[in-house]
Amino acid sequence: MIGAFMFEFIDLYTFAFSAPALIEHLGFTVRDVGTITAAAGIGSFIGAFAGGWAAGRFGRKPALVACLVMFSAPSLVNAVVSTPESFLILRFLTGIGYQGMTVVGAVLLTELVPGRVRGRAIAWVITIAGIGPTLLAWLAFALVPNFEWGWRALYVIGGLGLLLVVPFLRHLPESPRWLESRANLARADSIMTGIEEAVRAAGHTITPLPASMPAQSATAKPAHDRGSGIRALFREGFGKRFVVTCALWIFGVVAYFGFTSWLSTLLKLQGYDLGQSTLITAVITTVGLLGFFASTVVTDRWQRKYSLAVVGTVLGIVALLFTAGNSTAYVLAIGCLLQVLFQVVAPITQTYSAEVFPTRFRSIGSGWASASARIGNILGALAITAILDHWGIPAVFYFIAALMFILAIVMASLGESTSGSLERSDELADPESAVPAGGK
């Protein structure tokens, strides 16, 4: 799973790291960069929806492998093209794959990892995977300013995710929770037995379930027969948490990509040459790893909704500070702090959005929430292009700050408290958001 997330992160960053070289060597314009970024956003929207749907319909494992192929193969092709139109198509396809992978991977991890360590486990997976784009950033610094073909090597690295397909097909377990929700109890029990044997073989003990844990009725209607789509989600009382999760993804993703995807381009527009912009980007990306490490401490210590609200508020303040100076040292310091804070938020968002839904709504709920953010990201890319044209670089950071303040308010006032128990998520709904019987 770490490898899948690592290559997903690499493909997420390749265009951002290569964009300044495309402007300098191939004559791409800022508008081309914005349009291609928006196309990747459209692909991400489709990928988040399709990945969530496929994970619920066909299983977490096959959906994950399909997404891995979808974002790796176009990256290899991207290494040999040179026109904005080709980039637009290929980044669109890559977006489908890497965002589908994000949704499915988070759901599978959530369902395989015990609740008491789930947040930390997901944070550690993302932390280790975050080494990928850091190495890519330094590779970009070594190659992009010095070789006209240097940017192409970044896409070749992104395509190496294809090497994981066979190991995943052979060794990655399917989610027992998903199998149980599809009434495939024999296979679910077989996989759980294998997991428990591996845990005991590693020297760990397994705590038995409480005696009061209700057993599944043999005559109970299978979950998938009761509906697992977005209408059923609202009908059964999970509408409020879905809307809040959508807001979390929209404001967080638009702000995050408004900074990370545009950083190299913004630096170049600010007067830095290609070597300086790639160096600053590499340093900021590397320091951002500290945020992933910090998230491993924070994510299980406090309620996730309050952690998100606090970090969102601090992010908004730091984004405002970015506009207060323009020396290289100042840009580097504030840029590093922004990146660290964004990386703290990422694992907590992944964990919250998967935990807050019951098993049969988990992939579709988190998938649609993530997909909603991609619509925002499309509009965000176009908005940032317009902001740059009319008001300049400082206005971009005012925009990011506003998004973060809104996110903090929404999570603090409306966010769901999560206990880490997926059984509790399966049982509880929001009574006020349920649609009465016979309602639309």
pTM score, two decimals?
0.66
- Looking at residue 221, its pLDDT comes to 47
Single-letter code of the amino acid located at 153: A
pLDDT digits (tens, 9 = 90+) for 114-133: 766 776 777 778 778 878 87
| pLDDT over 80 (residue 265) | no
Cα separation, 254 vs 281, whole angstroms: 19
Cα separation, 86 vs 105, whole angstroms: 28
Q: Quick one: what percent of the chain has pLDDT higher than 70?
A: 87
| pLDDT over 50 (residue 223) | no
pLDDT digits (tens, 9 = 90+) for 364-397: 787 778 777 777 777 777 788 888 778 877 888 8
pLDDT digits (tens, 9 = 90+) for 44-75: 888 877 887 888 888 888 999 999 999 899 99
Quick one: how far is CA 41 from the chain centroid? Answer: 12
- Looking at residue 217, its pLDDT comes to 42
- Looking at residue 89, its pLDDT comes to 93
Single-letter code of the amino acid located at 396: V
| pLDDT over 60 (residue 422) | no
Say which residue the tokens 């109970």 belong to: 220
Maximum C-alpha span of the chain: 69
List strand residue ranges (DSSP E) for 181-285, in order.
none
- Looking at residue 92, its pLDDT comes to 93
How does 69-108 read in b/e, with b if 16+ C-beta sit within 10 Å?
A: ebbbbbbbebbeeeebeebbbbbbbbbbbbbbbbbbbbbb
- Looking at residue 15, its pLDDT comes to 85
Confidence band, pLDDT 50/70/90 cuts, at residue 428: low
Q: How many residues does the chain have?
A: 440
Quick one: how far is CA 325 from the chain centroid? Answer: 31
| pLDDT over 80 (residue 279) | yes
- Looking at residue 406, its pLDDT comes to 93
pLDDT digits (tens, 9 = 90+) for 173-216: 888 888 887 888 888 888 888 877 776 776 666 666 554 444 44
3-class DSSP state for residue 437? coil
DSSP 8-state assignment for residue 150: H
Q: How much of the chain is helix, strand and coil, in % rounded to 5?
A: 80, 0, 20
Rounded average pLDDT over 98-103: 84
Structure tokens at 272: 């830095």
DSSP 8-state assignment for residue 26: S
Element (H, E) at 214: none
Rounded average pLDDT over 232-258: 84
Rounded average pLDDT over 358-362: 76
